[in-house]
Structure 1
Amino acid sequence: MIRSFRLIRLAVLGLALAWTAPSFAQSFEGLDLGAASKKKKRGTTPSKKKKTTTTRKTRGGKSTKTPTPPEEDAAASTETPAAESAPAVATPAAPATTTPAPAPTPAAPPASASTPSSGSSSGGLGLDLTQEAPKQTAPTMSFDAVDVSGKTADRQRLDIAVNLFKNDEYEKAAMSAHELLADAKLAGLHTEARYVLAKSLYRMGMYHSSLGEFSKLLALGPSTKFFKTSLEWLFFISRKTKNETVILDEIARHANQEFPEKYRNEFRYLLARYHFVRGRALDQVGQPADADKSFEEVKRLSLSIPRNDPFFPRAKYLEGLSAFRNGSRTKDAASKRGNGEMLASVEAMKEVIRLTRPMPGKSAEQAKLDKSLRELAFMQLARTHYGMQQNRYALFYLGKVERGNTQWLESLFEASWANYRVGQYEQALGNLITLSSPFFREEYFPEALILKAVIYYENCRYRESNLILQDFERTYLPVHDQLEALVKKNMDAGEYYSVLAEVQKKNKDGLEKNETDIILERILRLALTDQDLSKTNDSILELEGEMDAFANRADTFKYSDLSKTLLEGLKVQRTALISKAGIMAKGKLETELVALKQLLANGLRIKFETTTKEKEFLEEQLKAGGRTAIVKKYKYSVAVSDDQLYWPYEGEYWRDELGTYQYTLTKGCIERDTANRNVQSAEAM
């Protein structure tokens, strides 16, 4: 009896073990999921969830690690929430990337040891099981709850690109964002992915490529998520590129949009610059009515910038140039309207000079910009006074340009004409000596020889005047012929620039140049005297440098689909810039061809007058039996002030003497007397 009871007891125990084993496995999975959910509510992260851990660390700790350039600090409040906060919303989907711990098999030895605790926790686990339990397995519930439609995994791909950007891995971030853009199924994430791509390219120093991506974002319209912040990034790019005009067209497209307050005045200045360049181009193609509207817009935008704003002096300078243009184009320049425009130009330039005085507290970059702008204002004041026949005022302002600065040579040349007008021939010729020195042999000042010939003609030095004119024809007649041949070809705009680019390439590579190349080099220097063309040329060279920089990137980036796409985009930008530069180059060459024709014609007239005067002198000399003279030696003195040293010029040039030469006419017309002249040399100093 006892024996049979023991057997029954063993059978019941075995049956209980058989029933409880599968129930434990299901209960284990269910408990594991519940624990994970509770941990997420408490804000903790399981150590096995690698991607979730990385995301939290990036948001909590590494997000402050990424350095922000100074120009981006101003837009940090708008840039960061727009791109980086959106992926954070998707963090509840993180369990999709984790793998639940495998459930123990029913035959595992620990199962029997764990049975009592499992059973107690479920309230009679082994006795209350039903046949329906195995149908709803835990793995199926876990999969359906986390990844129903696949959007979570896509959002995590964007998270990866964002985190790579925050960790300063810009090449990888750019490639990850580009992969998202290449997937048509992820169209809903394309805007955010392109924003990450554009920012990554900017941080990589690929500013033209970045501009292309931001332009695509702006093309989506003001209702899109990143429209306003993309507008701000245009200003960052304009400060990094050599030529701010590369973004002027993009800014003009969105002129009707409301810019953030902190960038509003910069936007107004850039838009004024756009209208000024446009107005000049319209003048060149013979559309003065449309040009008038552009210059009026320049004035309106300039007046909308507060006086204490850093961009006010630059805008004021554009306003002064516009007023000068309007005054000089007035049919009657001496009319009330013409004088009013000229006076407005003068006052605008004086205001620029007052605002750009060297002052403590300015940054080195701002001081450099102010110095350059101040110099341009002095030059414009001089030109305005020269045009109004106020030559001594012109000389005063030209003398304000510091020696060795960008506008210094131009100021010396223009001062030569002003000195000639007031009869200061020695100073005019002294300036021309500096311009003809070997240090500036490649500079383009054809009119200097004409002025020199005129001065010798005015002083009855006919033979020297003829020799100077012969030198002028020998130097610049081939340039004229080559210019005329180029203009008559009627090539496409890009081809005109290609001619100049070929000369630049030979100069850069140090290749030997033939006589034609030397002439074309002079034409290149002539064309680049146009500031807008020069800046556009700088942009093309900068863009080509960005294209060449792909070769220095890591192989994974260099040979990626993104690199191919970016290179294609840069080629499109380059083609557009070359077309723009070609149009400006053609216009400049046509203008200079007309000017050179006029100079050659003036040279011929001076040569004719010189020959006529020389003939008359010879005839008078024959009539008088060889005793008539029209030239006499002038009285002069080599005495100089105590702080100067007399040093006779013997053909040598020293850098520290450039700009200080003063030529002495030792002989000239017999009716003139230039006695008691204090000079620095007998012929030049």
Structure 2
Amino acid sequence: MRRLLSMASVIAATLVLSLGTPSAQPRGDDDLEMEPEGGASTPGSKTFDRAIDLYRKKDYYSASIELKKVLDGETGDDDAHKQRADFYMGKTLYKMGYYAGALNYFEKISDAGAEHGYYSASLKWLAALSRVLPETSGILEKIGKYDPSALDEPIMDQVRDELYFLLGRHFYTKGELDKSIELFNRVNESSPFFMKAKFFEGVAYVRKYEGRPAGEAFKKILEIARERPPQYKADEIQRFEELAILQMARVFYSTQDFDKAIRYYEKLEQSSPEWTNSLFEASWAYFLKTNNPKALGNIHTLNAPYFEDQFFPESVLLKSVIYYKYCQYDRALEAVAEYDTKFRPLRKNLQDVVAKYEDNAEFYEYVKKIMANKAGLDEVTQRLVISVLGDKTLAKTFAWVDELDKELKALSASDKAWQTTAIAGEVNTELEVRKSLAQADAGKLAKERINRLIGELQLLGRDGIKIKIEVLNAKAGQISAAGKGERIGASHKEDPIIVDDEHFVWRFNGEYWKDELGYYRFKVRNQCPKN
């Protein structure tokens, strides 16, 4: 039951697994081109003026060469013009598709703070970069340097709601939940970022153990799903509706309102990527309601071959506990043996995978082979590792490496003359350094994810040993008083299996059918003594 004891941790983890970067499409760049008032009060050099003119003519390659001369001090321009050149270089590289290179310049500006003349104007470009770069690029951290009051400026009208959401995300990841909630609440309801903001608001409240406002936030998402406002795509609405349903179920589970939790778990359709999670978690709710025929039915579904790429080892031990409570000791021991047979060897295999390479960057390359099914792992271990590597946070870390690699390839395919310039050399070096660091980060995170699973399997293995000891003691007539209290009483009556006009009872014959999944029920005979 370890997975559901701390609902805040579960929901926070699921949130990370479920959401990527904001899905709003990049807007046109016209709203980004406004510059702050003031700036340089003296004329710039001819090189500087030529650079700005080339930018406006969309000759970005030539503009980058001239801007680099200004920044390298070759033109005698003062600091004010160099600051403007910083800003234009960031914009130029963005227009050229070198987003990581652009981030480098806007990072310099944001790190300089308000002393840089283009500090405020750069915030809009950081927002634009957040649409094309994964969070693991560090983009949220840079946006988080800005005070929310900066968004009150008229220049921020087009991106204000987006930036409220991004700032909220930043403070959420930092654990400053009250500040994140306040920012999420500023997002206008007509904004395409409103639904995402509501979701994070709900999860922030869950992390604060405040179930009522969390539920209200999730209910608002369900209301949006019914109304289907035009600012959202259909698949986006469906995704957040499913996530909100799952979180509602977990909120009610955490308050031990198992009936309502089950009601929400069962709202998810088989087509939902969250369906198997809902089945597993609902099996615990059914177990705690002593509706064990349904709990066992859900566990039976999870072991269908349709879900061989998903792993729920805890469900096997839950099955053992259920049989123990009915004094079916042989079947309880069979379930423990099933766990040992399936998962103990896999833990050793995972340890071997992690031990393959000590260096994180080398481990990243090894993980790439695993993901391409070229690492020589046995089929079951391969599937288990892939299930771990499906972690969305890890996927975003790998996406950052891919983005850097893509930009390096674009640079090598660019105009040969431009490749020999100082700015091309600078961009290439920056991309190579960032890629090296990103690969090491990705390898480190992949190791952590696999090690976490190893730890979970180790703890479950210990639980299995404890269950086995309890069962053997009970079988020998040495059951403790606490154990007797856990047994199903002789007066207990199972909930009846009600069959409506659209369904009929069909005895399971060893073959799974897709339309049967989720509908299995077990008849469990109580073998406990009456006294």
Q: Same fold (TM over 0.5)?
A: yes
* 8 Å CA contact 2:48, 2:67 repeated in 1: no
Counterpart amino acid of residue 370 in structure 2: N
Measure how far apart 1:186 and its partner are: 4.7
Measure how far apart 1:507 and its partner are: 3.4
Measure how far apart 1:473 and its partner are: 1.8
Query: Is 1:346 aligned to residue 346 of structure 2?
Result: no
* Correspondence 1:265-414 to 2 at 5 A: 265-279=161-175, 294-327=176-209, 341-364=210-233, 367-414=234-281
**Paired residue for 1:206?**
98
Measure how far apart 1:448 and its partner are: 1.9
Distance change (3 Å), C-alpha of 1:198 and 1:439: farther
* 8 Å CA contact 2:326, 2:528 repeated in 1: no
Q: Write the distance in 2 (CA, Å) between the matches of 1:172 and 1:598.
A: 61
**Paired residue for 1:511?**
374
Measure how far apart 1:247 and its partner are: 1.2
**Which residue of 28, 31, 35 corresponds with 1:74?**
31
Distance change (3 Å), C-alpha of 1:546 and 1:477: farther
Distance change (3 Å), C-alpha of 1:393 and 1:71: farther
* Correspondence 1:424-439 to 2 at 5 A: 424-439=291-306
* 8 Å CA contact 1:177, 1:193 repeated in 2: yes
**Secondary structure class of the residue paired with 2:525:** strand
**Paired residue for 2:20?**
none
Counterpart amino acid of residue 150 in structure 2: E
**Secondary structure class of the residue paired with 1:669:** coil
**Paired residue for 1:287?**
none
**Secondary structure class of the residue paired with 2:129:** helix
**Secondary structure class of the residue paired with 2:238:** helix
Which has the larger Rg?
Answer: 1
**Paired residue for 1:470?**
337
Measure how far apart 1:615 and its partner are: 4.4
Q: Write the distance in 2 (CA, Å) between the matches of 1:609 and 1:219.
A: 60
Deviation readout 1:107-134 (Å, 9 max, x if unpaired): xxxxxxxxxxxxxxxxxxxxxxxxxxxx
Measure how far apart 1:249 and its partner are: 0.6
* 8 Å CA contact 2:134, 2:397 repeated in 1: no
* Correspondence 1:236-247 to 2 at 5 A: 236-243=128-135, 246-247=138-139
**Which residue of 168, 184, 187 corresponds with 2:74?**
184
* 8 Å CA contact 1:444, 1:526 repeated in 2: no
Q: Write the distance in 2 (CA, Å) between the matches of 1:376 and 1:429.
A: 25
Measure how far apart 1:561 and its partner are: 4.3
**Secondary structure class of the residue paired with 1:361:** coil
* 8 Å CA contact 1:75, 1:232 repeated in 2: yes
Deviation readout 1:345-400 (Å, 9 max, x if unpaired): 22332233334434252342xx4333323322222221121122111111111122
**Which residue of 384, 388, 395 corresponds with 1:526?**
388
Q: Write the distance in 1 (CA, Å) between the matches of 2:196 and 2:450.
A: 28
Measure how far apart 1:640 and its partner are: 5.3
Q: Write the distance in 2 (CA, Å) between the matches of 1:671 and 1:296.
A: 51
* 8 Å CA contact 1:313, 1:352 repeated in 2: yes
Q: Write the distance in 2 (CA, Å) between the matches of 1:514 and 1:638.
A: 44
Query: Is 1:157 aligned to residue 41 of structure 2?
Result: no
Deviation readout 1:508-557 (Å, 9 max, x if unpaired): 44315235x9648635633654x544433433343334334434444444
* 8 Å CA contact 2:168, 2:179 repeated in 1: yes
Q: Write the distance in 2 (CA, Å) between the matches of 1:347 and 1:360.
A: 19
Distance change (3 Å), C-alpha of 1:152 and 1:514: closer
* 8 Å CA contact 1:640, 1:646 repeated in 2: yes
Q: Write the distance in 1 (CA, Å) between the matches of 2:48 and 2:277.
A: 60
Q: Write the distance in 2 (CA, Å) between the matches of 1:438 and 1:612.
A: 34
Range moving further from structure 2, 374-383 or 202-211: 202-211
Q: Write the distance in 1 (CA, Å) between the matches of 2:309 and 2:409.
A: 29
Deviation readout 1:250-288 (Å, 9 max, x if unpaired): 012223661344233332322221122122xxxxxxxxx
Distance change (3 Å), C-alpha of 1:186 and 1:370: farther
Distance change (3 Å), C-alpha of 1:463 and 1:306: same
* 8 Å CA contact 2:280, 2:302 repeated in 1: yes
Measure how far apart 1:610 and its partner are: 2.8
* 8 Å CA contact 1:430, 1:663 repeated in 2: yes
Counterpart amino acid of residue 31 in structure 2: A
**Which residue of 458, 462, 465 corresponds with 1:604?**
465
Deviation readout 1:407-466 (Å, 9 max, x if unpaired): 222112111211222233333333333432333323232212212222333444433332
* 8 Å CA contact 2:258, 2:285 repeated in 1: yes
Range moving further from structure 2, 591-600 or 407-416: 591-600
**Paired residue for 2:18?**
none
Which structure has more relative contact order (CA 8 Å, sep 6+)? It is: 2
Measure how far apart 1:180 and its partner are: 4.7
Q: Write the distance in 2 (CA, Å) between the matches of 1:235 and 1:193.
A: 20
Query: Is 1:226 aligned to residue 118 of structure 2?
Result: yes
**Paired residue for 1:664?**
522
Counterpart amino acid of residue 353 in structure 1: L
Aligned residue pair count: 484
Distance change (3 Å), C-alpha of 1:71 and 1:240: farther
Counterpart amino acid of residue 50 in structure 2: R
**Paired residue for 1:282?**
none
* 8 Å CA contact 2:69, 2:75 repeated in 1: no
Q: Write the distance in 1 (CA, Å) between the matches of 2:239 and 2:328.
A: 40
Structure 1 gaps of 5+ residues are 1-67, 91-150, 280-293, 328-340, 618-633, 673-685
**Paired residue for 1:32?**
none
**Secondary structure class of the residue paired with 1:74:** helix
* 8 Å CA contact 2:114, 2:120 repeated in 1: yes
**Which residue of 403, 406, 409 corresponds with 1:542?**
403
Measure how far apart 1:479 and its partner are: 4.4
Measure how far apart 1:248 and its partner are: 0.8
Distance change (3 Å), C-alpha of 1:636 and 1:226: closer
Q: Write the distance in 2 (CA, Å) between the matches of 1:391 and 1:301.
A: 32
Distance change (3 Å), C-alpha of 1:425 and 1:353: same
**Paired residue for 1:330?**
none
Measure how far apart 1:239 and its partner are: 1.7
Q: Write the distance in 1 (CA, Å) between the matches of 2:360 and 2:310.
A: 21
Q: Write the distance in 2 (CA, Å) between the matches of 1:474 and 1:82.
A: 72
* 8 Å CA contact 1:550, 1:558 repeated in 2: yes
Deviation readout 1:586-630 (Å, 9 max, x if unpaired): 66566545533331122112222333344459xxxxxxxxxxxxx
TM-score (norm 1): 0.61
Q: Write the distance in 2 (CA, Å) between the matches of 1:358 and 1:176.
A: 52
**Which residue of 502, 509, 531 corresponds with 1:643?**
502
Deviation readout 1:469-520 (Å, 9 max, x if unpaired): 22322332244446678999997xxx45753x345311344315235x9648
* 8 Å CA contact 2:171, 2:179 repeated in 1: yes
Q: Write the distance in 2 (CA, Å) between the matches of 1:636 and 1:301.
A: 47
